[in-house]
Amino acid sequence: MAAQNNVVKSTDHSQRKERPVNQQLPKPNFAEPATQVTFLIGPDNDIMKFIVHKEFACYHSSVVRAAFSSNFVDGQTQTYRIEDTSAGAFRLLVQWLYTQRLKIVQWSDSGVFDGLAEEAEEDKACNGGDAHLLEKDMNLVRLWVLADRLGIPKLQNDVMAVIINIGKNAYQPQWETFRYIYESTAEGSPLRALATRQCVIDVLPHTLVKNPSAFPHQLPLDTAVHCAQYMRHQFEDKSIEAKDFFVDTSSV
């Protein structure tokens, strides 16, 4: 599908844009079911088109509401272009706009997260191994970044809860997601803080040593700071004793 020239492209993913004041709107009720807006998602050579009821899109995002109410091109065409996210992530966004729930396809809602570990192993066996899990993890972090950009904090928190529950109940985070997180967020981002915590808890030290180029340059420093803060909190007695650093003299 060829890219359209009459839409505004949204590609700034390193900084959150200034958001319009969030005005209280009535909850969507399909009062105007024929009024729909278009989202064009993905790079120019692989665009996917999504049609969404305008009242749902505008109710949950003041950024989207301002865009479609403006006199600029996106307001005139009722078309919103986002190049730097995936169709999988946006599909989850649309799902949430209508239901305020995240139905992750590979996991059943029954028992909340029961059986995640088993299903993760089935994914590895049947769907290309870790690459399949990586794409699922990438869609979740892309969704968090997209929700941040569009000003949907409730969705951000729902995504965060899913990511953390996956880590607790299914499998360790795919560390390849860390680079995207650092490229797509600013310092102080909760998603960065989570990546740092996951790196401390779940990533083996030899993985960092053997694959330094796979990780963001800032991540090891953030990890060191996190560990230092934790250690300072743990040790009430912060005095340093010389004997703690003596070498063994028993053989002398």
Question: For residue range 61-77, what is the model confidence (pLDDT) as tens digits?
Answer: 999 999 998 888 888 89
> What number of helices (H) and strands (E) belong to the chain?
11, 4
Measured in degrees and rounded to the nearest 5, phi and psi for residue 39 equal: -120, 130
So what's the pLDDT on residue 114? 37
So what's the pLDDT on residue 172? 67
So what's the pLDDT on residue 64? 96
Maximum distance among all Cα pairs of the chain, rounded to whole angstroms: 89
So what's the pLDDT on residue 246? 75
Positions of the chain with pLDDT under 70: 1-24, 105-130, 170-172, 204-205, 233-238, 240, 245, 252
C-alpha–C-alpha distance, residues 213 and 203, integer Å? 15
Kindly report the pTM of this predicted structure. Answer: 0.73
| Residues 6 or more apart in contact with residue 181 via CB below 8 angstroms | 141, 145, 189, 191, 192, 195, 216
DSSP notation for 169-180: HT----TTHHHH
Q: What is the separation, in whole angstroms, between the first and last Cα of the chain?
A: 78
So what's the pLDDT on residue 207? 73
**Antiparallel, parallel or unpaired: β 48-53 and 9-10:** unpaired
Strands (E), the chain: 9-10, 36-41, 48-53, 79-82
Identify the three-state secondary structure at position 60. Answer: helix
So what's the pLDDT on residue 9? 55
